[in-house]
Structure 1
Amino acid sequence: MNSLLNDLCDFNRTKLGLGINITPDDVDLADLVADTVDQLRAAYPARRIDLEVKDNVQGIWDGPRLQQLLSNLVLNAIRYGAPDEPVRVVVTGHDAEVRLEVRNSGPAIDPLSLQRLFDPLRRGPDQEHKNADGLGLGLYIVSEITKAHQGSIEARSDQTGTAFDVRLPRRR
């Protein structure tokens, strides 16, 4: 319930033009991502979540917000991906930025839905008429956290699966 209320507060702040609050600090994404993935593995023991970290992934970001971003992406991949295939999280350091990718196997997202993935209050097609958890704010909040860090996010989907690619500059 607390998570839903926090999502609603974040949504209201963005709609008022205030954006998502972030508190940048030195962050080692290797540790942060490993901790977040371990928590998700414990919460979803029947699902395999693979993690790969490459190169230097340190920078100036809001650690708790990036944990929220990663949790939302992985939970989405678990919810909509093939249950017998792993969710893959890959974090790669580059000179000026760090790239965080979350991939899952499963059916392709149709092009129209793909264009609207980051719209608020939208849920996946198989969740629209169910009493599923959430309000359809997860990917919207992911995009707002990315923007608050001056980063970018892209979603790709085809017959093999779906990938979300977040790029975060090392310094704001």
Structure 2
Amino acid sequence: MTNSSSPIHSPDFDDFFESSLCGFVITDGEGKIAKINSCAAQWLSGSPAQFTSKRFSEILSIGGKIYFETHLWPLLRMQGRFDEVSVELIDTGKGKLPVYINGYERKDENNQPIFMRFTIFKASDRRLYEENLEIAKKLAENNLNIEQQNAIIREQFIAVLGHDLRNPLGGIMSAAQLLQRSELNERDKKLMNVIHSSSKRMYEMIDNIMDLARGRLGGGIPINPRAVDLTELLNQVSDELQVAWPERRIEANYNISTEVQCDPARISQLISNLLANAITHGSVETPVTINAQANKEFWEVSVLNEGKPIPEEVIKNLFHPFHREGSKSNHNGLGLGLFIASEIAKAHKGTLNVTSDKVQTCFTFSVKK
């Protein structure tokens, strides 16, 4: 029968002890080496017999020895173990060897130390790996910083470009309006209508690009809130869309008992985007519906349409910039409408959500007061 208090239990233990690729040291209760395996002895450029009866701290460098005696030894006696401590073995002529050590103390029934076991791992490869990992981390951080700086430059370029394009485009729109008032033949009137509608569309795109740049540069969508009659605002937006799509029906259901605080131009932009989206993608055989309610606690506007549901994988990115829902959007702009709508909602400290199933698709803008 083996003695459970002995540091060496069996021939299997001896084989494991000697053939291990890490260092093993067993000391008595006072910390004097009773047994050291060949691996640890080779690291110390000696034989196991040379280190027998030496105190464990004697195989450590001066700094490691001081740390062991002042910190690790008391810690071992108090809690019976320590893990993954970085020290160096004594200089044997080949330089100090960096290692990690684990310590374990076995006590008897009277709480007195019987022996201690120390496991030693070479730290050179691990430290090299950690250094390489740290270098790779710094390189990745530097690359990220460079990319972030490039992104800011790109967004600034977009903002400046959008601003500078407004002036010549404004001149084209003004000239087109003046020419439309002149005596023109039917052919020229059609051409002027194309110029006017196309330039207006370009102006809207530039506005969207500048809104995108503001959002990306961290400024968010600027708003100027004031007390607004929500019913009047929604009717105005609905009437404008009805003129653009006279063949489509837009129905309204309002339960509005109070004015709301908002930027009317931005909310008109948000609702117009949602309505145009519903008209474009909804069923042509059924109306688009606007539901709205406002009271002292919150106000909310929903735009609903019937038609094909939006796939779940599309909904995940629906409010991202440059996203386009299906092929119908290929000629409807840059894919910024819903992104800008969501940014307007955030600027009002509100939310913009969407649900879509086989029955209907519903975009809901909500603000808590």
Cα distance per residue 1:82-141 (max 9 Å; x no partner): 01110000111133210100000001111111111101101112236x3x1210000000
- The answer for the alignment partner of 1:40 in structure 2 is 241
Asked whether the equivalents of residues 57 and 98 of structure 1 are also in contact (C-alpha less than 8 Å), the reply is: no
2:362 to 160, 163, 166: 163
Residue 153 of structure 1 corresponds to 352
* One-letter amino acid of the counterpart of residue 75, structure 1: A
Q: Does 1:10 align with 2:186?
A: no
The percent identity for this pair of structures is: 35
User: Is 1:109 the equivalent of 2:310?
Assistant: yes
Q: List aligned pairs for 1:20-169, cutoff 5 A.
A: 20-127=221-328, 130=330, 132-169=331-368
Q: How many pairs align?
A: 168
Give the C-alpha shift of residue 57 in structure 1.
4.4
Structure with the higher fraction of residues in helix conformation:
2
So what's the TM-score if we normalise by structure 2? 0.45
Tell which has more relative contact order, 1 or 2 (C-alpha 8 A, sep 6+): 1
The 3-state SS of whatever aligns with 1:127 is: helix
Question: Going by fraction, where is strand more abundant, 1 or 2?
Answer: 1
Which 4+ runs in 1 deviate beyond 3 A?
Answer: none
Q: Work out whether residues 280 and 328 of structure 2, in 8 Å CA contact, stay in contact via their aligned partners in 1.
A: no
Q: Once superposed, what is the RMSD of the aligned Cα atoms?
A: 1.1
Partner of 2:51: none
Q: Residue 164 of structure 1 aligns to which amino acid in structure 2? A: F
Q: Secondary structure at the match of 2:257?
A: coil
CA distance in 1, matches of 2:351, 2:364: 8
In 2, Cα distance between equivalents of 1:127 and 1:47 = 17
Report how far residue 168 of structure 1 moved.
Answer: 1.8
Conserved in 2, the CA contact under 8 Å of 1:98 and 1:167? yes
Deviation at residue 169 of structure 1 after TM alignment: 3.1
Bigger radius of gyration among the two = 2
| Structure 1 CA distance for aligned equivalents of residues 339 and 278 of structure 2 | 15
TM-score norm. by structure 1 comes to 0.94
* Alignment check: 8 A CA contact 1:49 1:87 kept: yes
Paired letter, 2:266: R
AA aligned opposite 1:2: Y
What are the ranges of 5 or more consecutive residues in structure 1 without an aligned counterpart? none
